Amino acid sequence: MYKKWEYQETDLKVVSNIMKKNNISELLSTVLVNRGITKQKDIEIFLNPTRKDFHDPYLMKDMDIAVDRIIEAIEKKEKTIIYGDYDVDGITSITVLKKFLKERGLDVEYYIPNRLNEGYGLNKEAIDKIVDEKYTLIITVDCGISAIEEIDYANSLGVQTIVTDHHEPMDSLPKAIAVIDNKRKDSKYPFKNLAGVGVVFKLIQAIGKKLNIEEKEYLKYLDIVCIGTISDIVPLVDENRVIAKLGLKLVEVTRNLGLRALINSSDYKVINSNTISFGIAPRINACGRMGFEKEAVKLFLTEDEEEAQEITEKLNRYNRERQDIEKSIYEDAIKMIKEEELENKNSIVLGSDGWHHGVIGIVSSKITDMYFKPSILVCFEDDEAKGSGRSIPGFDLHEAVGHMSDYIEKYGGHEMAIGLSLKKENFKKFKEEFEKYVKKEDISGILPIIEIDKTINLKDMNKETIQEIELLEPFGEANKRPLFVYKNLKIDSIRALSEGKHLKLTLKDENTIINAIGFNLGHYSKEYMIGDKVDIAGMLELNSFNGVDLVQINIKDIMKSY
């Protein structure tokens, strides 16, 4: 598939000034400018954030109300429950708040809805259970902002609610005693994009300030806050950057037995954003996807090493099961796409019996990445159908599904990802109408874009350059690993690996050999041959093998040199 390379337009004067003031290379300075980090104070915070760079938690709407109410609950030993989500953000939010409140003398319980039976967020059946067990205060984490009807129901039963969330609110707010969410229209907080666990961190920071406890009593949870923040794919800038950068340092020396066991089992030698995104997050998320959401919380709460090891083994098993199910659904989906010739359509909508609706969202994401089309996968259960969809940049999937209201029962999400439910009998018509809508919107002109930070050459291919790039860690949303272009390289060797899946190249710049690897780019081995001159777009990295560090390019795309 053809990809469009877009080169960043960089002000060279600004780059030069930043180089001199900060004693850094032109390469690193260029990347900072491309990220919009040009003010000296912002550069210092970005490269070396400290605990002093957190915003005042009391700038958040309703924070003072929430803090006073929670302190009242602590003093009265009130029966309080935390209501959270089943993903990493929700799990870490519950962990941090429960541990912090327990140390303040309030041993709260928690409730996580089962993804397969209850779905996301507050529900009336759960509230009934909470009332039956005599709880009088609910604190939501990573959910609650859209639970207007459910919180009204809780109010009617005499249970008060404090909402902490980071999702977009509806036209009106729930009638909770406090609603802490920086996406409120009346929010004056300087940063809007905290993860749910980031909002919880601000809550415990505010309680800490009110009770005059030492900073270390809430800062010590930054290892867990960091896990939730990186995993939730929020922009790693501003306060999220501070959380992630400081938190990763604590993850390296974490005293949390569960987190330590999980890291050890993931086989990652270096603790960075990759370790969290690909080693830790999938294992925690697998619990919720497979319907065992409480296991991950138990892991983070345990004070017993043997139990930590036992639960970690369970999480690894759930993750392997999730991977097997995902592979099976993916293979089914690819087969159906070929049979129905959907690669020639504008969208890909598939439905099948037996698919696991806790996993189909991941498969939908892979399908969209592969074909660069909006995709929706639906699993049939009796006469019901539940689905997940993923989109491409430039096509609003949430709005598109909103036009299908005649055929769907319920939907939610945002521009790039949605969840929906419909009657099985309406699936065929929904599929037809969705394809018509996408065709009418004409997405044929939307191409995958590779944003290039800078053109590099042989002088940049060294260990020192890569070590300097690592100062930009943690990488994530809004702070992607920099992409560079190396032009006019001659292919010295080329082959496919892993049964044609991946690509291995050696390239020549004059007489110097440059190593390159391209994951999921094995098809290029048939398009290029030894001696071809090519431009390579990719990331610089160190490949450590047998104690030797080799600089290599992790390829994102290739095109012929002109």
- pLDDT tens by residue, 346-355: 999 999 998 9
Q: What is the CATH number of the domain that holds 415?
A: 3.10.310.30
Instruction: Give the domain-ending residue among 174, 205, 222.
Output: 222
> Cα–Cα distance between 475 and 277 in angstroms, integer?
10
**Which domain range does residue 161 map to?**
53-222
Residue 499 included in any domain? yes
Residue pair 236/476 in contact by the 8 Å Cβ criterion: yes
pLDDT average, residue stretch 470-481: 92
The verdict on residue 361 lying in a domain is: yes
Residues 81 and 183 grouped into a single domain: yes
pLDDT, position 67: 98
**Is the pLDDT higher at 211 or at 416?**
211
Looking at the structure, do residues 205 and 182 belong to the same domain, yes or no? yes
CA pair distance 99, 246, nearest whole angstrom: 20
Residues 406 and 473 in one domain: no
305 near 335, Cβ under 8 Å? no
pLDDT of residue 117 exceeding 80:
no
Q: Who contacts 334 (Cβ-Cβ below 8 Å, separation ≥6)?
A: none
- Mean confidence (pLDDT) of the chain: 93
Please indicate, yes or no, whether residues 40 and 130 belong to a single structural domain of this protein. Answer: no
The residue from 415, 441, 467 where one domain ends is 441
Same-domain check for residues 388 and 370? yes
Same domain? For 60 and 79 the reply is: yes
Mean pLDDT along residues 475-482? 92
Looking at the structure, tell me whether residues 411 and 508 fall in a common domain. no
Q: What is the DSSP string of 455-494?
A: EE-GGG-SHHHHHHHGGGPSPBTTBPPP-EEEEEEEEEEE
Q: What are phi and psi of 209, to 5 degrees?
A: -65, -45
In a domain, 311, yes or no: no
| Tokens coding 145 | 């902002």
Does the pLDDT value for residue 163 go beyond 90? yes
For residue 408, what are its two tokens?
């769907």
Are residues 424 and 383 in contact, defined by beta-carbon separation less than 8 angstroms?
yes
Domain harbouring 15, CATH code: 2.40.50.460
Residue 249, in any domain of the structure:
no
The answer on 168 and 97 residing in a single domain is yes
Distance CA 166, CA 196 (A): 5
Residues 63 and 166 in one domain: yes
- Alpha helices in 292-382, H assignment, sequence order: 294-301, 305-339, 360-371
The dihedral sign for the CA sequence 144, 147, 148, 150 = negative
Q: What total number of domains does the chain contain?
A: 3
Q: Are residues 454 and 384 located together in one domain of the fold?
A: no
Phi, psi of 494 (to 5 degrees): -150, 130
- Do 180 and 81 share a structural domain? yes
> Full-prediction pTM beyond 0.85?
yes
**Bond before 57 cis per omega within 30 degrees:** no
Residue 56 has pLDDT above 90, yes or no: yes
Assess whether pLDDT exceeds 90 at residue 203: yes
Task: Pick the last residue of a domain from 376, 411, 441.
Answer: 441
Task: Flag whether pLDDT at 118 surpasses 80.
Answer: no
Burial classification of residue 291, based on how many CB atoms lie within 10 Å of its CB (0-12 exposed, 13-18 middle, 19 or more buried): middle
Rounded CA gap, 454 and 474, in Å? Answer: 20
- pLDDT above 70 covers what percent of the chain? 99
Same domain, 506 and 408: no
Strands (E), 84-159: 109-111, 137-141
Q: Rounded mean pLDDT of 331-335? A: 96
CATH number at residue 124: 3.90.1640.30
In a domain, 332, yes or no: no
**CA–CA dist 79, 559 (Å, integer):** 63
